[in-house]
Amino acid sequence: MTPTPPAELAAGTDHFFALRPDERARAEIAAAAARFRRSQRVSGVPVPIDNVHLALCPVGRPERLHQPLLRAVLAAGAAVRVKAFEVSLDAVMRCIPTGGQFPFVLCADQATTEATLGLRRAIAVAQRTQGLRVCGVSSFHPHVALQYGPAIDAVEESITPIQWRAEEFVLIRSFFGQSRQEIVGCWPLGTEAAPRPTDLLAELASMPDLPALPDE
């Protein structure tokens, strides 16, 4: 799906590509976040469950645009060709920040990291084709942010994996200073083609005749 875009990116907003968990995974994420907050006595501002996402790639810096910025970003999203894959979040972490706030996150496993990095690179390449440059593509640690708050000691714990199948990716518009997001674009990820059944009779009929064996 590629909606009709406005002429330009709206002021006071941020735009980025992301994966969104399905309904079942969102419920599991909310439950895991609540358990961790209780066990670790974490304070801060939770991310609204409807806004929970795994960020993939920012909108690149314009360099050689031949059309309005948002139209170029949407064209890049539509050009991406990547297979669908399984997402698995298997650890919860609170990190020591560089500023005054720390992220409380669910972290992806190695297979998810590799798959999401492949999608991130494909989105960056598609944006480059449209005249948008994305830097630091390989510096990527996929996670789902659940809460932000004051600085505390780092903690990491393994959890029962929370999983969903990523069958689409989206372009999100986030409004600064508000707990509000909009889906601006949504594109499907490809599926593996099912193998064609083998028709043995047809294959035998199409085989060339074997040469006659010589008489002994």
Q: With left for phi above 0 and alpha for psi between -120 and 50, is residue 44 left, alpha or beta?
A: left
Query: Residue 204 has what pLDDT?
Result: 43
- The HSE-up count of residue 58 (CA atoms within 13 Å, CB side) is 13
Say yes or no to pLDDT of 213 above 50.
no
154 versus 106: the higher-pLDDT residue is 106
Query: Residue 193 has what pLDDT?
Result: 42
- The tokens of 170 are what? 């989206």
Express each pLDDT in 73-101 by its tens digit: 999 999 999 999 999 999 988 766 655 56
Say yes or no to pLDDT of 112 above 80.
yes
The DSSP symbol for 179 reads S
Q: Where do the structural domains in the chain lie, given as residue ranges?
A: 13-191
Query: Residue 135 has what pLDDT?
Result: 92
Express each pLDDT in 142-193 by its tens digit: 999 988 776 566 678 899 999 999 999 999 998 876 778 899 999 999 865 4
Say yes or no to pLDDT of 214 above 60.
no
Say yes or no to pLDDT of 139 above 90.
no
The Cα–Cα gap between 131 and 127 comes to 6
Question: Nearest 10 degrees: CA dihedral of 127, 132, 138, 141?
Answer: -80
Domain 13-191: CATH superfamily is Cyclic phosphodiesterase (3.90.1140.10)
- The tokens of 175 are what? 């409004």
Express each pLDDT in 6-53 by its tens digit: 335 666 778 999 999 999 999 999 999 888 878 777 677 888 999 999
Say yes or no to pLDDT of 205 above 60.
no
| Spatial contact of 38 and 101, defined as CB atoms under 8 Å apart | no
